[in-house]
Homo-oligomer: A and B are copies of this chain.
Amino acid sequence: MSEKKAVILLSGGLDSATVGAIARQQGYRLYCLSFDYGQRHYCELEAASRVARSLSAVRHLTLRLDLNLIGGSSLTDQKLSVPRNKVSADESEIPITYVPARNTIFIAHAVAWAETLEARDVFLGVNAIDYSGYPDCRPDFIQAMERAVNLGTKLGVNEKAPYFRLHTPLIELHKDEIIQLGIKLGVDYGLTHSCYDPDDQGKPCGQCDSCCLRLRGFAVAGLDDPLDYQG
């Protein structure tokens, strides 16, 4: 049995479920990490638990973060509303669902846990193509962050070559390609949750940025999304 360990940033969404399946196929034992950060879409965390189980993760750790006290995003601040039907608007604009420095914070925690586990590999489902305009999903940022975390850790600093590697296998893929890859690897997308604005039963709205990207991905891939949408 392989002793390669990987920390997977698992949101419960489509992308991170696919990344988990990729890492598992590469022979890693999976340590899944999720965050309870005051996000409105709390059912993401339930989805993350289902996905971690389906991936036979060795552990699934959920850390609380007080990002709601920092504010600045419609995902964590109840005073701001999540926009609907915005996906085809100006794509150069960074949307209000942007959470300040979110991936910087997530990666920092993932590397901290990886260091404790002596795991060199951290996997993230970031995507620079259908990325909704988030700056912390771009390759330049990931590379800069990989350099920083190696310089700022005990294991990273003691080695000539970088100890920690940030893997972003989806970064250049379109949503339909991600879905097709996941289907090949046996991902059950019915376990995942992508909506920014679900109803009380957790049913996705079908209209926010994230739902629109997901639905368009399934449509382009010629596949049915197994989720049950509102209305």
Digit string of A84-115 for contact with B (CB within 8 Å is 1, else 0)? 00000000001000111111110011011101
Q: Does A182 contact B (CB under 8 A)?
A: no
> Which stretch from A40-48, A145-153, A168-176, A216-224 is at the chain B interface?
A145-153
User: Which residues of the partner chain B approach A147 to less than 8 Å between Cβ atoms?
Assistant: 144, 147-148
The answer to whether A115 touches B135 (Cβ under 8 A) is no
A157 to chain B, nearest CB (A): 4
When all copies of this chain in the complex are counted, the total is 2
Digit string of A124-164 for contact with B (CB within 8 Å is 1, else 0)? 00000000000110101100110111011110111000000
Question: What does DSSP make chain A's interface, helix, strand, loop or mixed?
Answer: helix
User: Which residues of the partner chain B approach A64 to less than 8 Å between Cβ atoms?
Assistant: 64, 66
**Interface size counted on chain A using CB atoms at 8 A:** 43
A199 to chain B, nearest CB (A): 28
A99 to B111, CA, bound (A): 12
